[in-house]
A = this chain, B = another copy of it.
């Protein structure tokens, strides 16, 4: 019956608080994975409480799915999907993206790994909703690379006998593989070396 002081936020901005929760949840999930991500930690980082969280997200799973669709996917969109789709020199753009990835690599980013890859490895076999959401991003990635290669092929920049879909699958896989291995080795040097090999593989698809 003690009438504790209910300190509410004086200014309200639902969209901003929702974004704050999403961002904090993304960071927490990026470091500890989804299952080990603690709602308490997320809320501590945002200075919010469970009331806020469960007002915006009915359950922890929904929060995780929203992170994938609104944060992870948006990152890929800005970094890979849009540049590839908008380019009219898709082959050069693809090579350039891979090169940039290798160059701008930071130790922290390396040791945390690719958020998409992390979540796929953890959640795909455990939860169908996660699997579907993650698969959607992964497939869009593959599809985007595949389309870029096909366009380049029409331009005569990629050899005619190349199976663009298979190549795209391998590029995406190797890409994730490089990030995963470098994450474990915690080595920027190995990451660059590995991405350089991927770059060489892609360059090897070019017409003579």
A interface with B by C-beta (< 8 Å): 31-33, 35-36, 111-113, 117-118, 120-122, 124-126, 131, 134-135, 138-139, 166-167, 169-170, 172-178, 180-186, 190, 193-194, 196-198, 201, 204
* 19 A-B pairs whose Cβ atoms sit less than 8 Å apart in the complex: A35-B35, A35-B36, A117-B180, A118-B122, A121-B121, A121-B180, A121-B184, A135-B184, A135-B185, A138-B181, A138-B185, A166-B194, A166-B197, A169-B181, A170-B197, A173-B181, A177-B177, A177-B178, A201-B201
Residue of A32, A36, A173 contacting most chain B CB atoms (<10 Å): A173
Q: Nearest Cβ distance between residue A99 and chain B, in whole angstroms?
A: 16
Residues of B within 8 A of A117 (CB): 121, 180
Contact B134 A184, beta carbon cutoff 8 Å: yes
Supposing A35-B36, A124-B111, A126-B32 touch, asked if A194 and B181 sit within 8 A by C-beta, the answer is no
Q: B residues within 8 A CB of A201?
A: 170, 201
A63 CB → nearest B CB, Å:
17
Q: Which residue of B lies closest to A112 (CB)?
A: B125
For the complex with contacts A122-B122, A169-B194, 12 further pairs of A-B residues with Cβ separation under 8 Å are: A31-B125, A118-B121, A118-B122, A120-B184, A121-B184, A135-B185, A166-B193, A170-B201, A173-B177, A177-B178, A177-B180, A201-B201
Q: Which residue of B lies closest to A130 (CB)?
A: B184
Q: Quick check: B169 and A193 within 8 Å, CB to CB?
A: yes
* Nearest B residue (CB) for A36: B35
**A124/B183 in contact, CB under 8 A:** yes
Contact of A121 among B167, B183, B193 (CB under 8 A): B183
